[in-house]
A and B are shown apart, each in its own frame.
Chain A
């Protein structure tokens, strides 16, 4: 049974623009899934619908195993600038009413988990773009969610930082066993990260095709430079071109 069953979901914005035109998709528990598509194909909208941040105009989203705890990582770090990294990460726990000492302990643990030990007292503006993103991921993971939704989280970062974060994200995923849904417009990123890629067409978005990336984990830089990786990228790229032409 899938964790999430998305069926013929459409979404029309108030201004009449149709972002999604009947997208269907299953998300299996524990998998790393990428949603790949051109800009404006409705992939972010799809993610927001799954998160419950918006309602579909038509179609259904079902949770056969019950609606789990979920974490959300935005395209921007989306941190509160007026408080420390620790308080930012502890926010979800605070909103759920946990006691201060417990939420701070768990937030410190989450920060350490993304490699930011020692930065608890730093304010967001004192951190680099990549570090802010790490804080954002720690915040999403602090409640130990079953499902982590990520909306092009590394798109604004430089290449080197993005590679580090990709590797670290995979490491976190293997360690913590959450289900990952990763929205991206980068073929290379999606192939490097995922077990499965769904390719979406241009607006109004729907799922055009699906690929499996059979390479084993842990995936390292070696995988990123292998011939297998290059072949998979070529394949995925072709599917994306097809989806955009359709």
Chain B
């Protein structure tokens, strides 16, 4: 192993297909991490466990691209935030009209619709909601007056499609339709053809008219949500969270955990092992006994107890993983340094009276560097899967959406027996792909350092 120079290792490495594949995957992952850090503000992922933040999103929605493979298109979950605003006044009566154009091209009815608004007003404005369908028919949905107030107040309101008065208004207009409204939800009527109860495709216009006298209400927020069953690149989970955000943010977290744990353990193990091997005799004996003790500790039960009793913070967990990570490397580093110690130049340096620390740092450690790099790469996947495993058991840091955490939630909500594949597959594939990248790099390095295995 001492006969290979760094340049040669580099050359050999770029000749190996495995090594290059590993590097390509790793670069992609790093690119994803950078994209995640830049495009998704850090506040978003801190809000991961805050249900308020996800209230507008659909529950367990299938990823959007599924529609490409479907013959019957599933309605997409749409959030309309920028209505077309028209204001007209007739003497003292002021009409503020918000219109949302909804392009509906799906083969199933939407799940529901919600209109969310907040406004500042005096007196008691009247709100009317209606929809103009692609066939030109206008359906009145609801008309309601906001609570009366003499001074200016702020009012928030949500109009749900399940509202009974919408249903009642629709049944008053049932003569336009040639089927019975029995047991049909409002959205199944509004988006239906006249002859039979099947979705009518085309452009719908939802208009919300606010009538007020004397002063114009200030509408602060006005959103229309047409609830669908597909949403986002990666779909959503039971708690309405956008899985794409969790998966993206999981990448830098996994790389952080894997790299920090493996680099720190390899460095610690290397120094420990080399020192023990170099010193020899009693020091070696004592150090190796201690090594044996740590080696024999059952890691997983211990990690579990530690995270339950001390802290489940991700940074503390990284520390615990290091405690169990350095042992094997120390053993190998010791036996390697035992071999190197007997070489002539180390003896020579010793005789010339060089300091111990200098001999270790200058003559022994550099010889072990290729091995160190290979072990760093090889021990990354273990760190990532262990963290994922702990998170999966519900012992991870709940404030960070790691892949293991997502899978834990999936398991808690019985995703696999409910067939929610988009909740289970991507996090696991990400864990495996990240692991593979490092295994490839590690194996490529390993076969250069130990040519015996290369065949």
Q: Do A and B come from one complex?
A: no
Interface positions of A (Cβ within 8 A of B): none
B-to-A contact residues, CB < 8 Å? none
